[in-house]
Amino acid sequence: MVLEWLISGMFDGDPEGEAKANKVVEELGSHALTKSHDRHISMKRAREIGLKVSALEDNDDLQEAVLTVHHACIQTLSETRPSSL
């Protein structure tokens, strides 16, 4: 599914899109390389494996919006009591 999304999304129209998508899936899907699903991947590394990423810091409005949502989620989660089942 991820391979199809990369081909039809990020690499749409790229004549090498399928090969690039395969490289990304191979890299990110390798347990030996990533160790766990939530392991951090730097922007530099993401670009090295072929992902098209933009720095959040390059767009002040987008950064402000993302941080607002992030802070709202953190605040909500920290102030929400677990349900007692």
pLDDT in tens, 37-73: 667 889 999 999 999 999 999 999 999 999 999 999 9
Confidence of residue 34 (pLDDT cuts 50, 70, 90): low
pLDDT at position 33 is 67
Angle at 2 between CA 43 and CA 33, to 5 degrees: 50
CB atoms within 10 A of CB 10: 16
pLDDT at 63: 96
Please give the model's pTM, rounded to 2 decimal places: 0.67
